Chains A and B, each alone.
Chain A
Amino acid sequence: MKLLKLEIVTPDGVIFDDEVKQVTLPGSEGEFGVLADHAALVSLLDTGVITIDRQDNKEVSVAINGGYVKVEEEKTLCVVDGAVALSGEDTHLAQAIAEAKELLERAQSSSMTIAAAVSKVENIKKR
């Protein structure tokens, strides 16, 4: 399977830079998935959760509070305002989820978008 390069940049630095199978992004006009060779696209990102399908078939989620994405055929670049990665072991995960929820609730989006994002984050915990 062809991979695409994904880079997520926040004001605190680069938090993700790797080749992945697929990434799902919370666009301002609705969620959309990106595979390799996607048509070029620039979109606003809403508050929500980025879901990344890694090469080893593991899923990683990153909660964000809005930003921009630029999709090119080989490379996808996300420039986001704030992000919390939700991965790792149980204890780490619980802490990350709490941080993610805090980040989402502070975001300046409609309450509905925030609620949807928070519930998504909570679902990760249950899995």
Chain B
Amino acid sequence: MANLKEIKRKISSVKGTQKTTRAMKLVSSAKLKRAEEIAKRSKVYAAKLTELLSEIAQKMQQNNADGIDNIFFQENKNPKKIDIVFVTSDKGLCGGFNYQTIKRANEVMAEYKNSDVEVRLSGVGKKGIAFFKYNQVEMINEIADLSSKPNYEASTELISTLVEDYVAGKTDKIILIHNGYVNMIMQKVSQQQLLPVDVSALDLSNSVSMSEIEIEPDDNDELLDALVKKYVEYSMYYALLDSLAAEHSARMQAMDSATNNAKDMVKKLSVKYNKARQEAITTELIEIISGMESMK
């Protein structure tokens, strides 16, 4: 019967898909291990850098009652123009990973647009860029092939143009959105205000005897400027690493459920196949028997 053949073909096709998804899951889990390791190591550096920055910021806050007298710390209460940077993946097949980031970016954008703030969008990763292009949202930076291979120089290049605009007073805020790695089965969208540095978000609790600290070079601003720039650059780079680890874990999960779905499908199709086969045999038997009956 033709139906029988068709089911057989379907089964083998689903089995083929299952093989692919299983292989992709294995590849992702291997890549995840590496990405996770790199992200973990960078986390130490990021934490120490933040610690250093927060201590200096705190010291300067003590010296100056009305907050820190530095462009990187002064918040403009009525922002006119802000930058949003989002990080998505270059490749698909990773479930809702990119969609979550895009959704958050859209929400933040809408929020600012409602209060008449101009929003500039910068995108990293083909998937997010494709989405916003399709929806005809203009982007000032479109950077592909960076989120799959994070590179410090390239990420610095992107963020430093935005920082320059901020210093020149063209923009009032820089927000970074990416989907970060929590553990094997969880990702979390994180939204971070890069500039102005959000002093309240820095942990100021564990610093000691900071009032007596000496700062070299004597010009506090020089050190602070350098430190803030580094902080922003590194936050950007870390977002890329974090996003890559999250991407792999999301893909692993997606491919795992795809493999399971394929398994279920094969099971269902096999049952269907067996039923059809039995039906065919029954029909054949009936034909033979009725043929014999008519011969009598």
- B40-56 residues with Cβ-Cβ distance < 8 A to A are 41-42, 44-45, 48-49, 51-52, 55-56
Indicate if A44 sits at the interface (CB-CB under 8 A).
Answer: yes
Query: Interface 1/0s, chain B 183-211, versus A by CB < 8 A?
Result: 00000000000000000000000001110
Q: Known interface pairs A40-B212, A42-B223, A79-B52. Does A10 touch B217 (Cβ–Cβ under 8 Å)?
A: no
Q: How far is the CB of A42 from chain B (nearest CB, A)?
A: 5
Across-interface contacts of B213 in A (CB, < 8 A): 40-42
Chain B hits for A124, CB < 8 A? none
B146 to chain A, nearest CB (A): 16
Q: Which of B41, B45, B52, B216 contacts A29 (CB 8 A)?
A: B216
With contacts A68-B52, A72-B208 taken as known, whether A41 is within 8 angstroms of B214 at the C-beta atoms is: yes
CB of B71 within 8 Å of the partner chain: no
Expressed in whole angstroms, the Cα–Cα distance for A72 and B42 within the complex equals 23
Task: Report chain B residues within 8 Å CB of A70.
Answer: 52, 55
**Residue B234 lies at the interface, judged by CB distance under 8 Å to chain A:** yes
**B152 interface contact, C-beta 8 A:** yes
Bound Cα distance from A13 to B46, whole angstroms: 10
A44:B212 contact, CB within 8 angstroms: no
| Residues A62-111 near B (CB distance < 8 A) | 68, 70, 72-73, 77, 79, 81
Question: Smallest Cβ distance from A105 to chain B, in angstroms?
Answer: 16
Query: Most chain-B CB neighbours within 10 Å: which of A29, A40, A44, A72?
Result: A40
Q: Across the interface, which residues of A come within 8 angstroms of B42, CB to CB?
A: 11-13
* Tally of chain B residues near chain A (CB < 8 A): 27
B205 to chain A, nearest CB (A): 16
Number of interface residues of A (CB under 8 A): 23
A13 to B45, CA, bound (A): 7
- CB closest residue in chain B, given A81: B230
Query: Is A3 interfacial (CB 8 A cutoff)?
Result: no
B227 at the interface (CB under 8 A from A): yes
Evaluate contact between B209 and A40: CB separation under 8 angstroms. yes
Task: Give every chain A residue within 8 A of B210 (Cβ-Cβ).
Answer: 40
Chain B residues 17-69 with CB under 8 Å of chain A are 41-42, 44-45, 48-49, 51-52, 55-56
**Given A9-B45, A79-B49, CB of A43 within 8 Å of CB of B152:** no
Which residue of the partner chain B has the closest CB to A82? B152
Pick the contact of A41 from B48, B208, B216, B227 — CB < 8 Å? B216
Assembled-state Cα–Cα distance A29/B217 (Å): 6
A44 and B208 within 8 A (CB): no
Complex partner residue of A44 from B41, B44, B48, B226, CB under 8 angstroms: B226
**Which chain A positions have C-beta within 8 A of B227?**
68
